[in-house]
Chain A
Amino acid sequence: MINLSINNQRVSVQPGTTVLEAAKKLNINIPTLCNHPDLCVAGNCRVCVVEQTGARTLIAACAMPVAEGMDIQTNTLKVRNARKHIVELLLSEHRSDCTKCYKNQKCELQALANEFAFGDTIFLDLVADRPYTIDRSSPSFMKDDSKCIRCQRCVRTCTELQHISAIAVANKGMHQKISSFHDRPMSHVVCTNCGQCVNRCPTGALVEKTYIDQVWDAIYDPDKHVVVQTAPAVRVALGEDLGYDPGERVTGKMVTALRQLGFDSVLDTDFSADLTIMEEGTELLTRLKKVLVDGDKKTRVPMFTSCSPGWIKFIEHKYPELLPNLSTCKSPQQMFGALAKTFFASKKKIDPAKVVSVSVMPCTAKKYEADRPEMRSSGYKDIDYVLTTRELAVMIKQAGIDFRNLEPSHYDSIMGESTGAAVIFGATGGVMEAALRTAYEIVTGREIPFKNLNITPVRGMEGVKEASLKIEGCVDDWKFLEGAELKVAIAHGLVNANKLMRLVSKGKAPYHFIEIMACPGGCIGGGGQPIPTSMEIRKNRMKAIYSEDEHMVLRKSHENPDVIAIYKEFLGKPNSHAAHELLHTHYTERESY
């Protein structure tokens, strides 16, 4: 243990602890900006400078490891003066149109300004005479260089967590900026639109592209029937933007709020998640049959899940040769969209042209996905607008809804029923677990042999997870699988996805089925989720997801009555021609730079 003193209080910590962490232990708050719990230490904003007795300069608390006998002061005049200067310097290169900014009151720089730099600044405005661009090219997010304070959180996120480096630091000195390959617009570089950078940007430099106004317009258009669907991970995170602690489930209140906002039908992406399991599970079993029994050389295993649009864009760019391994199933959002303007519209006797389909997603890549040209199998744009969890929170606030005191209510029928298998889609390993619950039962006619159906080996925050399952006692149709050992792998965060893909492309991945989620922790850690994020917050959301599952009466996708009904009335059976028309898609090879 290392002993040191901070503000004359003694503390003992493990070697390797930073001064910042040691101070936290004493409940001494040192302001930070470039620091983020998910990322490596940068030490570049210098907001966290503190005084160390005997040191020539101030030290950055976030980057300085503790040393025996260290004497730290966090609040001396020297420190305060430096901090004030630093915050004012940041403000001088930041276009402070705070009252109009999407991040107003959610901006970390603004909070620091409030603390250290109120009143007149002595510094000159450096933004005023500098040209800047706002890159609106991506359908998912906007990049406004005039609000960027070069903390490089986004760059570190893109490199460390996602292994993409769509954005990087360019130039030096006064010309330094966060740029893309050849300074191209974000829509024309290898960007997965995952929004992890957006989720970690402390200012309004990176924000999702909002469609709030368009959605309000649709709601108030008496001619339109506005259908809304909510993704599994939204219900365990929305509360954070409305004053709840991370991990609070607000499903019922959210449904009520959506009705109060004026959506005509409040439905659940969980329904189409169950549907995805039927389609994807069947596809997997069919692929296995083709490979193992028919000896089909064109069919590829392992099969990859296809729910995460950030992951889809990643593989299209980085491993186009592996696209045949990707399940052809659309994501639950897009399955829902295709059905909303076909099956749902006809059931409700509404002209599909008048249906406006809105989804609330933990994700910014979903905005891009909805814009894909192939996502028009209903004859219309299947999903008109995608809102993030954050945007929904904004709408609830705009409408003046007293969220905390809302009576919980249930989703509408037809496409509102769901099972626990669907809700766990929101966490890494969830799709795998849901698929196994159903596939095992199809193959053996028995429930999967895990206590309470909880397939714990596929759960948790480990970057790459593996599991295997012995299949015994198969029913007649699936006798060829008798005694087989089904091997699966799961990765979340594209840096981990990349590890698995490397193995697959070298032929060294002994798996049958691989689940990939682009974001750390899966959708619960999505780029469209409330800010801030951290491992602890994501774990709380994950816990809530599994608790939501445990509280459901139905836990297996194939038991969802709405799913059973739609096959009976509309789709026939899984992977049928009708299902292929509406629920499956194809992919595009993209360049790797």
Chain B
Amino acid sequence: MENKGLNKVDLIFEKIDPKEVLTKAYKISPDAIIQQILDSGLKGRGGAGFPTGLKWKYTAAVKEPDKYVVCNADEGEPGTFKDREILDRVAYKVYGGMVIAGKAIGAKKGIVYLRGEYRFLLPQLMKELDSFHKMIKQIGYDFNISYCMGSGAYICGEESALFESIEGGRGEPRNKPPYPTTSGVFNKPTSINNVETLVTAMMILTHGPESYSQLGTKDSRGSKVFSISGDTPTPGIFELELGMSVQEFVNEFGDGDTKAVQVGGASGFCVPRKKFGNTIIGFEGVPTGGSMKLFNSSRSMYNVLHNYLDFFAEESCGQCTPCRVGCQQLLKGVEKVKKGEVKSTYLNELMKLADTMKVASKCGLGQSVGNAFRTIVENFREEIIY
């Protein structure tokens, strides 16, 4: 197991001259851009971890004059607030990443889908966008970015629900295939990337893929912005190299009494103290879109689980059976167990249900409810029952 230890990095928020980078990118071919991203080993920073270079390659391969780059800024995972910070501080790099993606896949239009609750950022973002548009026009790019505001649904962070929302429909995930690379927003080939992914792509073009791929591990190249919250003396945004263990993370950010870390938000995994040492934060261990929540021994893991299930029961789009009804059953089920109205072995039945939700739900939301449920119930069973 490769372990890089805890190393702070300054890439995402590093000050660069976007004009210089974009001028450089303007002069190289789309294939060369894609190759650089492939070489860097960059995987999507929203949480699912699909290789960004491949996504661009597939979208570029579709012959269609009308394509889109969509920036997923619907940051809704409980405990993540990194995209807000990125947009607040280095929006020009997000735009830059979109222009580069546009050049790579052959798109002239970009849409930023901004979380409804981040509307307060919009005036500033639009102002920066204006001068950005002028700048790229000078270089020679034919690319236009527009904003679409979300309305507060967690599910709209799911790519196809996000497209539906942009198109004016209910935020409900679509059946896949077709995938966004062939049929995304307005049924056009679309590369949809997380805010951080786009910034990272820009930085890969700035410093070259070799230097980036030296960071991190074989499965998790590079660095990542973490949103750290919960029982920690230092909550906030930190950019760290991938490949540290949870223990190293807790040593740095814990309050000395950490009993569990929820990695990846409500849809992520709960790592208990006994597994801190041999769990790597990254795709080889516990993947995360950035949310890191620390819990100390004063916290009831029942309350944590209940909170997550309550969240999912509300935020499921309600379209498919396993997710809509399953979330409610898990929620009511643990309540009954806690009250002693059903036997504690009922948790085993709920665990099977969580497995069904994982394999039978239509989209990533329903498929990942079981992550938190299973890891909390498995590791803190007595807290759920008593």
Contact = CB atoms under 8 A, between A and B. Distances in A.
Contact of B356 (A64, A65, A86, A172): A86
Contacts of A149: 321
A89 B327 contact: no
Contact of B325 (A57, A78, A89, A169): A89
Given A43-B175, A58-B360, A85-B352, A126 B336 contact: no
Nearest to A85: B356
A45 B320 contact: yes
Interface string A144-184: 00000110100000000000000001011111100000000
Interface string B184-200: 00000000000000000
Nearest to A87: B321
B137 to A, nearest CB: 41
B318 interface: yes
B318 A176 contact: yes
Most chain B CB inside 10 Å of its own CB: which residue of A46, A47, A64: A46
Interface string A30-69: 0000000000010111110100000001101001110000
Interface string A78-102: 1001100110011011000000000
Contact of B321 (A57, A65, A90, A122): A90
Contacts of A171: 318
B24 interface: no
A124 interface: yes
B124 interface: no
Contacts, number: 112
B153 interface: yes
A132 interface: no
Interface in B322-378: 322, 324-329, 332-333, 336, 346, 349, 352-353, 356, 358-362, 367
A123 interface: yes
Nearest to B178: A65
Contacts of A63: 175
B170 A169 contact: yes
A172 B325 contact: no
A86 B336 CA distance: 21
Contact of B360 (A49, A90, A126, A169): A49
Contacts of B170: 169
A76 to B, nearest CB: 11
A86 B321 contact: yes
Contacts of B39: none
A172 B321 contact: no
Interface in B278-335: 312-322, 324-329, 332-333
A93 B325 contact: yes
Contacts of B319: 44, 150, 152, 169, 176
Contacts of B105: none
Contact of B322 (A43, A46, A123, A152): A46
B313 A85 contact: no
Given A41-B175, A58-B360, A173 B318 contact: yes
Contacts of A172: 153, 155, 171, 314-318
B123 interface: no
Given A85-B353, A174-B328, A58 B359 contact: yes
Contacts of B326: 85, 89
Contact of B352 (A45, A47, A60, A81): A81
Interface string B159-185: 000000000001110010100000000
A378 to B, nearest CB: 48
Contacts of B314: 172-175
Interface centre among A78, A86, A93 (most CB of B within 10 A): A86
Nearest to A122: B349
Contacts of A81: 352, 356
A81 B359 CA distance: 11
25 contacts: A43-B320, A44-B320, A44-B321, A46-B360, A46-B361, A47-B321, A49-B359, A49-B360, A57-B367, A58-B360, A63-B175, A81-B356, A82-B359, A92-B325, A93-B328, A126-B325, A150-B318, A150-B319, A150-B321, A152-B319, A169-B170, A169-B319, A172-B318, A173-B312, A173-B315
Nearest first, the 3 A-B pairs at minimum CB distance are A176-B318, A89-B325, A63-B175
Given A82-B359, A169-B318, A175-B314, 6 more contacts: A43-B320, A46-B320, A78-B359, A172-B314, A173-B316, A174-B324
